[in-house]
Amino acid sequence: MRYDLITTTYMPGLAATAAQAAATGETAGLAGYWTSEIGTLNQTVELWSQPRPVPAGEPLSQESHKLTAIVGPTAPEFVGGIYELRHYRLRPGATPLWVAAFTDKLPAREKYSKIVGLFASDPGEADRVVHIWAYPDLNTRAAARAAALKDPDWLAFLAISRGQKFAVWQDNAILLPAAHSPLK
């Protein structure tokens, strides 16, 4: 299934206002709605399975990516907590290779935390992948990542990814789910 991942940057203090306004609008097709907590601040991140209604507010900037779901999105086993959005731009043509290597070793990574979603650009678009994870808190995230970095199967994926130089740019954000987000 195709999704739009939309990241909108607002003037300081206005992302929360935009999230509140979005809660009263049309939400058909909304898979997730978050506000940034760590990373670039004053942002909202939205995941839509169909075209999104025009949002309220005046954003400073907006970035939209059309992505295909490889895994999920799947709600976490708990409500609340934090979400981690990892966004990678890959070298041209690397998306299918990266996705194959990642999904092959994903069971090893999921021993420590379950993925919420894995999304990849379609052929012909800029090569990028996005994955989303949920954790009850930052301490749980740190413990899961530390454990995964000791797992030989997960380390094998990292060796492949780094050895093939798949990623040319990475970004990471810690997000909080908005009250109206289907993924909480």
Q: How confident is the model at residue 58 (pLDDT cuts 50, 70, 90)?
A: confident
pTM: 0.92
Q: How confident is the model at residue 56 (pLDDT cuts 50, 70, 90)?
A: low
- Spatial CA neighbour of 113 closest among 90, 81, 89, 88: 81
Greater pLDDT, 96 or 50: 96
Name the CATH architecture for the domain at 2-177.
2-Layer Sandwich (3.30)
Q: How confident is the model at residue 26 (pLDDT cuts 50, 70, 90)?
A: confident
Q: What is the mean pLDDT of residues 6-15?
A: 93
Asked whether the bond before 76 is cis by omega within 30 degrees of 0, the reply is no
136 burial type by CB count under 10 A (0-12 exposed, 13-18 middle, 19+ buried): middle
Please give the angle made by the CA atoms of 139, 144 and 146, to the nearest 5 degrees.
95
Q: How confident is the model at residue 162 (pLDDT cuts 50, 70, 90)?
A: very high
* Pairing of β 43-48 and β 167-177: unpaired
- Model confidence over 28-48: pLDDT tens digits? 899 999 999 999 999 999 999
Domain ranges of the chain: 2-177
